[in-house]
Amino acid sequence: MATATHTKSPGAAGPSFGRLARRPEAGSFLGMIAVFLFFLSVSGQIFVSAPGFASWLNVAAEIGIVALPIGLLMIAGELDLSIGAVIPAASLTAAVVSGYYGLPDIVGIIAALAVGLAVGFVNGLLVIRTGVPSLIITIGMMFAVMGLTLGLSVLLTGSTSTSINPGPVAKTLLGAFIGGMFQVTIFWWIGFALVIGYLLHVSPWGNWIYALGGDKISARNAGIPTEKLTIGLFMLSGLAAAFVGTGQAMVYQSAQVAGGQSFIFNSIMCVVIGGVLLTGGFGSVVGIVLGTVTFAMVNQGIYFTGFDANLGSVIIGALLLVAVLMNDTFRQLALTYSTKKKG
């Protein structure tokens, strides 16, 4: 009686290097390691000392909280530029409500977060009702929110900036520095990453988001609630931006109309460096986190070297270009692997 023999195909025993290379975050991981080693070699141990870690982790945390929902939107084929106005609007709302009018901190925080949710809801509603690209919708919303913030700030307080003296609880939760160096925002960033990671990679919503970015019409025909999903993603983006703005008010104990615009392109760069395609349908939360860390290391690492600080922008620009090229390469690898597997 013949005994059946089973031969293992290469890589069948577990995840091979080839499979890992096809992951959306593969390119961002390699880029992060390269950037880390570069700054470690040119700046020495100060880059990995506690102050060094704190300098770029604090930056990564703030941008990272905003970049995560922006990444979800980009995977879904959408974009939100209004975050540049939501951050100062939320910051000023918290400062006016709890600082200028003296209401409890919790009231100011809720009001600030409500601003972000409201802007996100309007963004999503306009996108699905008008059919106008989200890029145009959110640019218009950005200028509208900026104008409203400026006008209401002057009307209510007579100034474009307002101070706030948060209580110990609000200061501890949103504006404290651990060890005098590390912002508590880092832990909020980790929390946001875990929640959004579950949303994208574990819950059914994740498959819906990828489907929405792949083909919106097919997703709708498959029974996916594309309109509710789109509105929900924009509201999540607005909420995250408002949270960062509220945290800034607690950290700096003041808020002003100007500020927040840098988050627009910085968050998009983090997402792209993290392996998310501009065309949608491809990306991961791990990649977005790695891209954010890479961006923050370049943004702050340049100050630990003897280089001209302007070179930081050059390096970030080069990283972005390389990331776009690598993202397309890894996507093609993933598609090729998926096709072979099906065949």
Output the domain CATH number for residue 141.
1.10.3470
Is the residue at 302 inside a domain? yes
Whether the pLDDT of residue 276 is over 50: the answer is yes
Buried b (16+ CB within 10 A) or exposed e, 89-124: bbbbbbbbbbbbeeeebeebbebbbebbbebbebbb
pLDDT in tens, 100-133: 999 999 999 999 999 999 999 999 999 999 989 9
Does 236 map to a domain? Answer: yes
pLDDT tens profile 139-171: 999 999 999 999 999 999 988 889 999 999 999
Residue 11 above 50 pLDDT? no
Question: How far is residue 343's CA from residue 249's CA, in Å, rounded to a whole number?
Answer: 56
Of the two residues 128 and 314, the one the predictor is more confident about is: 128
Per the structure, how many domains does the chain have? 1
> Rounded to whole angstroms, how far apart are CA atoms 303 and 191?
29
For residues 252 and 245, what is the distance between their CA atoms, to the nearest angstrom?
Answer: 11
Task: Answer with the residue of higher pLDDT: 319 or 336.
Answer: 319
Q: Which residues are CB-neighbours of 150 under 8 A, at least 6 positions away?
A: 160, 257
Residue 10 covered by a domain: no
If you average pLDDT over residues 56-76, what whole number do you get? Answer: 95
Give the whole-angstrom CA distance, residue 14 versus residue 275.
23
Q: What is the rounded distance in angstroms from the CA atom of residue 339 to the CA atom of residue 328?
A: 16
Split at pLDDT 50, 70, 90, the class of 237 is very high
Provide the sign of the torsion angle of the four alpha carbons 214, 32, 70, 72, taken in this order.
Answer: positive
| Eight-state DSSP code of residue 304 | G
What confidence category does residue 20 fall into, taking pLDDT thresholds of 50, 70 and 90? low
pLDDT recorded at residue 163: 92
231 part of a folded domain: yes
The reported pLDDT for the residue numbered 332 is: 62
Mean confidence (pLDDT) of the chain: 85
Mean pLDDT confidence for 317-341: 64
Q: Is the pTM of this model over 0.85?
A: yes
- pLDDT tens digit string along 280-307? 888 899 999 999 999 998 888 888 887 7
For residue 12, is it within any domain?
no
d(CA 60, CA 249): 18
Q: Look at residue 8 in the predicted model and tell me its pLDDT.
A: 35
Query: Considering the domain boundaries, does residue 224 fall inside one?
Result: yes
Quick: pLDDT tens for 159-202.
Answer: 888 999 999 999 999 988 988 889 999 999 999 999 999 999 99
Range(s) of the domain holding residue 227: 25-330
Let me know: does 58 contact 186? Beta carbons within 8 Å.
yes
Taking CA atoms, 52 is separated from 145, 177, 297, 307, in Å, by: 36, 15, 9, 16
Q: What is the pLDDT of residue 310?
A: 73
